[in-house]
Amino acid sequence: MPTTPAVNPRTGEALEVPAEDTTDAEVRRLCERAATAAPALAALSRHDRAKLLERIADGIDTHRDRLVDIAVRETGFTATKLGGEATRAAYQFRFFAEVVRDGAYLEATVDHAADTPMGPRPDLRRWLIPLGPVAVFGASNFPFAFSVLGGDTASALAAGNPVVVKAHASHPGTSAASFDVLCEALHAVRAPDGTMGIVYGLAAGAALVADPAVTAVGFTGSFGGGKALLDVIAARPDPIPFFGELSSLNPVIVTPSAARASGVDIGAGLVASFTMGSGQLCTKPGFVLVPDDAAGTALVDAARGALADGTDHVLLNDGIHAEYLRATAQYAQRPEMTRYAAPSASGPGYHVTAELVEVDLDDLSEAMIHEVFGPLTVIVRYQAAEPSAAAAELLDRLPNSLTVTVHSTDDDDNAGLLALATAHAGRVLFGGFPTGVAVSWAQTHGGPWPATNASHTSVGATAIRRFLRPVTYQNVPTDLLPAELRDGPSPVARRVDGILLLADTDAEFR
Amino acid sequence: MPTTPAVNPRTGEALEVPAEDTTDAEVRRLCERAATAAPALAALSRHDRAKLLERIADGIDTHRDRLVDIAVRETGFTATKLGGEATRAAYQFRFFAEVVRDGAYLEATVDHAADTPMGPRPDLRRWLIPLGPVAVFGASNFPFAFSVLGGDTASALAAGNPVVVKAHASHPGTSAASFDVLCEALHAVRAPDGTMGIVYGLAAGAALVADPAVTAVGFTGSFGGGKALLDVIAARPDPIPFFGELSSLNPVIVTPSAARASGVDIGAGLVASFTMGSGQLCTKPGFVLVPDDAAGTALVDAARGALADGTDHVLLNDGIHAEYLRATAQYAQRPEMTRYAAPSASGPGYHVTAELVEVDLDDLSEAMIHEVFGPLTVIVRYQAAEPSAAAAELLDRLPNSLTVTVHSTDDDDNAGLLALATAHAGRVLFGGFPTGVAVSWAQTHGGPWPATNASHTSVGATAIRRFLRPVTYQNVPTDLLPAELRDGPSPVARRVDGILLLADTDAEFR
């Protein structure tokens, strides 16, 4: 029996669950298969691996409507949000195909034998190789872009690793259908058996992280869930890397001059951002620093106005729903917090309404500072004369985040605000809102603990780096070397005897 | 009172210790100073940071004789080994100055705002920034190259981080004198106060790793010491990265054809390698797979011949000396192991003689498989008909290592041996011996657990990557951006809109 029943969050109706919880023996078998597949997958040429990724992207496009239908029923997200996510998932696979074809991610480096001030140096050639089977944990809130078909799967496969996914209990049917899409694509390109596996259930997730064949974990989820898996890793004889994205409050700083210049637009934009995906995005702006003056009040009024339509939101599951009700009720009880909300939604599923709460910076207590999944944000008012001091105080008191956003004008100490924001996040925005994470070469989706626990990112080209390790070949005969490390025209950019060289366009592609 | 008395390992005479154990309060104060220095150090231009590193290298050259004198007394190493190390330490600082000037280590990436299949993309600019104060643990066996003036200090400073070093108890005077060299250089270039600190004593090391200001740890040392520090990190609220190099057996595979072709040379070379630095190198070949045939026996005989001069070796300290005597005595008691050694050395200090032990692969038991610091190696004989199977069996039974070395000829399954060796190490050698680690762009000094616990290296250009984290600026105004991320000619190589571009030689250096 599955441990968690599947439910349509919009209607409360029970849904058929496609799979029983995976037994420990079956987890072991899948990991063993992945370990067997690893050398064959690593030996695929970059060209063949890129084709594999593109075939998966094509599969997502082909099965898109069916996937979205299933996910709509399981998650309560709109078809628009889910369709966008499917587009993003396919885009990510194609993007990593481009990264693999480019080949610079291999960090190929050649030092020929030479005399140096340190004495004779042997011939040394370095590149990055796949780690081995990777465990990927699907996230509740992105059933496509951060789940079975998500960025962790795409980047781990791109690096040349087999993947075993732990399906999230909030969308088992979506996960199963997604896995079928993967299998169809892998079959079509004759990928090694065991390239992908999937497991269901909490216990299976723990067994997966404990499995001796697993070499790394990609996780997007709650702080508690992440810490539990870190404990499993601590009990392993070998401490494998855990790339966890755990928690983020994504503070937004609005200076008095920005509030004067465009407070009304900021207020409306804020509501659009923090209610996107019913507020269940890891980049939701959770704390917004607003001056305690007329322009600041106009900003808050504009936000209240945007909320007034009382749009009904649906949360993903019973746990998130209950926690949202608990957190909003707790905020509402605090006399120092002012609450702006439509009356609570009711119904058979997990309906809620969006809320703003407002508090003075001086009254902000530790107990108020935590992530709330759902359409809620906390407005923190500060004395308008001291924007930089207020920003420093708020950012020092909040845990570090994926993002910090600054709304300012030329009149502000922007260099100071940039330095402050950079110290607390992996992405710093000037203007705009942090929701919506572009998939591109320059993206970072990570930040200092507890945003993530690694100097890496789960979105963008360098996500692939998490699942690779360096190896150096010393005096290895040329005919044993990969094309990327041989002398002569190179198919990839590389550093040779200290000089960075671009790929030779006429080098035969391998 | 210092917890460990300093002793001349060659004579047993007590040495003056330059410093008391550092108190917890003083550790806190040094970390606080480092945290204060961090922003100013990060704000130094790459040019200024390169000059700082070169000034330290010059200081090492200037004070070289005095440093070596002190280290000879404290470590028992020869002036030749220590002089080579001082050369290496200075070279490392100059090498990282080159890495910093080159600037490609910043991974600068620019994605201009554009329409994409995912919708409009904002302007995104990514680079790597310093983590903050780094704790560096000096190693016993490299009083210069992996200690106060070692590669961890050089790479952490190069990345733009303040460093607090824990001095190794085996060479406190060398550490203090090294620290003075650092301070003189930092003073000369007017580096921020707090750029470097030093602490003494085991408890101070633990307090350092626990300190809230510390953002990463670089460690080279014993498996036990590393695990103890990992426990300190596990008890922190934020799990900072620990770059530990813990243990390595560095297996050497000799095929029957290689033994026939050059067994005598391999035997003599092996002895030179495993007795280098009195066998106290992390890359010492610890297990050597030799065929059980006449050519293999000739190899072993050549090694015995090279041992026969009975050269006296001196170990670093009481703990290493006692452990070496214990381990060699234990091997000697095993009837399945054959021992070749000169009579034990005796004297007031930590003198020992080099030893070979020999065992059949079939008789190799778990209890025999562990690292022994000192001039000892284990020859493992295997049935000559099955070299690949024997290599696979040995490597699967040994823990992973920094290096695997293959001695083979064209008659062997070299592709198979390369794949096997690559799966178990971070550096694979064909021919030669693993001792002697060139400092260069393509070097890797790391490997799968327990060799190291991270996909990084502590030697070579990419060592700098351990102490940096990515940040992406979204729609940040141009005048706030660093030179490396502005439009126009670039002082560093970078990727712009997906295309890798070399540095513009005419871009103004910053």
Mean pLDDT by 10 residues, chain A (510 residues): 72 88 98 98 96 98 98 96 97 98 98 93 98 97 97 98 97 97 98 97 97 96 90 90 92 98 98 96 97 98 90 92 94 94 77 95 96 96 96 97 98 97 97 96 94 85 96 98 96 97 73
- DSSP label at A431? S
CA–CA dist A504, B428 (Å, integer): 27
Q: Is B234 left (phi over 0), alpha (psi -120 to 50) or beta?
A: alpha
**How many domains does one find in chain B?**
2
Closest approach of B88 to chain A, Cα-based (Å): 6
Closest CA to B74 of B147, B21, B13, B22: B13
pLDDT of res. A507: 61
Q: What is the DSSP letter of A203?
A: H
Cβ contact (<8 Å) for B98 and A431? no
Task: Using the structure block, give the residue that is written with the tokens 């309906």.
Answer: A351
Say which amino acid occupies B405: T
E runs forming strands in B203-280: 216-220, 242-245, 252-254
Residues A134 and A198 in one domain: yes
pLDDT of residue B506: 67
Spatial distance between the Cα atoms of A82 and A93, rounded to a whole number of angstroms: 17
Q: Is residue B93 part of a domain?
A: yes
Q: Is the same domain home to A264 and A223?
A: no
Residue A476 lies in a domain: no
Would you say A313 and A347 are in contact if contact means Cβ atoms under 8 Å apart? no
Helix/strand/coil for A118: coil
Residues A320 and A389 in one domain: yes
Q: Which of residues 171-190 of B touch A (CB under 8 A)?
A: none
Predicted pLDDT at B436? 92
Query: Which one is catalytic: B54, B74, B245, B355?
Result: B245
Catalytic residue among A54, A74, A85, A245: A245
Whether A452 contacts A244, CB under 8 Å: yes
Choose the closest CB to A480 out of B122, B418, B460: B418
Say whether both B241 and B284 belong to one domain: no
Is position B462 within any domain? yes
Q: Do B442 and A109 touch (CB under 8 A)?
A: yes
Look at the block and give the residue holding tokens 């999937």. Answer: A198
Q: Which two tokens stand for residue B302?
A: 């050549």
Nearest to A241 by CA among A223, A220, A221, A214: A214
- A residues 45-104 near B, CB within 8 Å? 87-88, 91, 98, 102, 104
**Which residue in A39, A118, A497 is closest to B419 by CB distance?**
A39
Amino acid identity, position A313: H
- pLDDT tens track for A407-455: 999 999 999 999 999 999 999 999 999 999 999 999 999 999 888 877 7
Regarding whether B238 and B257 lie in a shared domain, the answer is no
In a domain, residue B502? The reply is no
Residues A382/A347, Cβ–Cβ less than 8 Å: no
Same domain, A154 and A99: yes
CA atoms of B248 and B229, how far apart (whole Å): 18
Dmax over Cα atoms in chain A, in whole Å? 78
Of the residues B414, B430, B446, the one at which a domain ends = B430
Element (H, E) at B88: helix B79-102
What pLDDT is attached to residue A343? 66
Domain-located, residue A475 = no
Q: Does residue A271 share a domain with residue A218?
A: no
In a domain, A496, yes or no: no
A window 199-238, beta carbon within 8 A of B: 230, 234, 238
User: Which of B64, B106, B118 should we substitute to test contact with A (largest number of A Cβ atoms within 10 Å)?
Assistant: B118
Contact list in A for residue B468 (CB cut-off 8 A) is 455
Judge whether A494 lies within some domain.
no
Q: Are residues B260 and B144 in the same domain?
A: no
Shortest distance between the Cα of B325 and any Cα of chain A, in A, equals 28
What parts of chain B have a pLDDT lower than 50?
1-2, 509-510
A441 closest CB neighbour out of B234, B495, B502: B495
Residues of B in contact with A461 (CB under 8 A): 109
Asked if the C-beta of B502 comes within 8 angstroms of chain A's C-beta atoms, the answer is: yes
The residue segments making up the domain with residue B108 are: 24-113+122-246+455-467
State both tokens at A221.
């989820």
Quick: pLDDT tens for B400-438: 999 999 999 999 999 999 999 999 999 999 999 999 999
Alpha helices for A76-201 (secondary structure H)? 79-102, 151-159, 172-188
Concerning whether B31 is annotated as a catalytic residue, the answer is no
| A91, A234, A238 ranked by CB distance to B118: nearest | A91
- Contact predicate B52/B186, CB 8 Å: yes
Q: Output the pLDDT for position B343.
A: 66
Q: Could you tell me if B240 and B257 lie in one domain?
A: no
Shortest distance, CA A333 to any CA of chain B (angstroms): 29
Task: Identify all chain B residues contacting A117, using CB atoms and an 8 Å cutoff.
Answer: 87, 91
Residue B449 contacts A, CB cutoff 8 Å? yes
- Residue A500 inside a domain? The answer is no
Same domain? For B171 and B284 the reply is: no
- The residue of A96, A116, A131, A444 whose CB has the most chain B CBs within 10 angstroms, and thus the best one to mutate to test that interface, is A444
User: Which of A39, A441, A470 comes nearest B455 by C-beta?
Assistant: A470
CATH at residue A79: 3.40.605.10
Alpha carbon of B474: minimum distance to chain A alpha carbons (Å): 5
What tokens does A371 get?
A: 């992530």
Q: Is the ipTM of this complex over 0.95?
A: yes
Residues B279 and B403 in one domain: yes
Question: What is the maximum span of chain B, computed from C-alpha positions, in angstroms?
Answer: 78
What are the chain B neighbours of A438 within 8 Å (beta carbons)? 111, 116, 118, 121-122, 124
| Same domain (yes/no): A202, A280 | no
Strands in A134-137's sheet, in edge-to-edge order, are A196-199, A163-166, A134-137, A216-220, A242-245
Nearest-CA distance B113 → chain A (Å): 10
Integer Cα distance of A462 and A449 in angstroms: 19
